[in-house]
Amino acid sequence: MNAAFLDALRKTPLYAPARGVYRWTKRKHPLSITPQRTGDIDVFDGGRDNRISYQAAQLVGKTTIAVRGNDNTVEIASGARIEGCSFSIRGDGNRVSIGPSRLIGASVIVSGNSNRISVAGGCVLAGPGLVCEGKGSGIALAAGIEVAGLTEFAALEGTSIAVGHDCLFSGNIFVRTGDSHSLIDLEGRRLNPARDVRIGDHVWVGVNVTILKGVRIPDSCVVGACAVLTKEFETPHCVIAGNPARVVREGVDWNAKLS
């Protein structure tokens, strides 16, 4: 663009809006797509001091990152493979960190302030929903977790979900720290506050399982299909099954490979 053209443009009504669009583009979309990518990404930054980093990740298919608020961070690590995912952040001071893992069709939704979602390395997550709502809620997935089908992790009302390493989740699983609505007594006192969920290392969760607020699952347990968990369990190396779930066998372990 030569100097004469710029001088002419400055004298027209188009200059101010064109300059504004240029500055908005530089501010809202400071990141470039590197040649290593095979897909594309849309970034919408509707706030101030937000940090979105994904340069060294491999993007396959359309991925969208939308941030509305201030001082939020979305960090996708080098070596991560992101296939057709969406990230929606609303609020201030939230942090989303994806390690060198593979996410396929994931939906990451954060609504509120000071929430945290972290996925460690070596995970393969197909179709998960990672949801944080409220203030100070958190989801932490350790290394080597595999999600084989649609699964929702929802941390609500300032509570958290922590999942240990080397866990296997089948499909249609719901892990929630709260009920999203209040159950109250006749004096108006709430009866169902949200509570943390803790899942230990090397846990296998079968299909159609529901894990509700306050649940703890020890290391090396197996959760049977269609189980509904509503309490803390203390015995490792056991099978948990039923509705409501209970320990049905002890002294077991599991292996992802057929022996």
Tokens 């069709």: give the residue: 105
CA distance 32 to 53: 10
Higher pLDDT, 34 or 140: 140
Tokens 């990740």: give the residue: 57
Confidence at residue 104, expressed as pLDDT on a 0 to 100 scale: 95
CA distance 128 to 203: 17
Confidence at residue 215, expressed as pLDDT on a 0 to 100 scale: 98
Confidence at residue 129, expressed as pLDDT on a 0 to 100 scale: 96
- What mean pLDDT comes out for the span 232-246? 97
DSSP state of 212: -
Q: Which residues of 208-237 are buried (b: 16+ CB within 10 A; e: fewer)?
A: bbbbbbbbbbbbbbbbbeebbbeeebeebb
Residue 211 in this model has a pLDDT that exceeds 60: yes
Confidence tier at 17 by pLDDT (50, 70, 90):
very low
Distances 227 to 12, 135, 176, 249 between C-alpha atoms, Å: 69, 30, 14, 14
CATH number, span 36-250: 2.160.10.10
Domain with CATH 2.160.10.10 in the chain: 36-250
- Whether residue 126 contacts residue 104, with contact meaning beta carbons closer than 8 Å, is answered with yes
Residue 250's H or E segment, with its range, is strand 245-250
Distances 126 to 25, 107, 145, 166 between C-alpha atoms, Å: 33, 10, 11, 15
- DSSP helix/strand/coil, 5: helix
CA distance 115 to 139: 9
Residue 255 in this model has a pLDDT that exceeds 70: yes
Residues 48-82: tens digit of each pLDDT: 999 999 988 888 888 999 999 999 999 999 999 99
Residues 175-190: tens digit of each pLDDT: 999 998 888 889 999 9
Confidence at residue 35, expressed as pLDDT on a 0 to 100 scale: 34
Confidence at residue 180, expressed as pLDDT on a 0 to 100 scale: 85
Q: How far is CA 184 from the centre of its chain?
A: 30
Parallel, antiparallel, or unpaired: how do β-strands 86-90 and 95-98 relate?
unpaired
Confidence tier at 11 by pLDDT (50, 70, 90):
low
Rounded to two decimals, the pTM is 0.83
Label residue 256 exposed, middle or buried (CB < 10 Å: 0-12, 13-18, 19+): exposed
- What mean pLDDT comes out for the span 191-198? 94
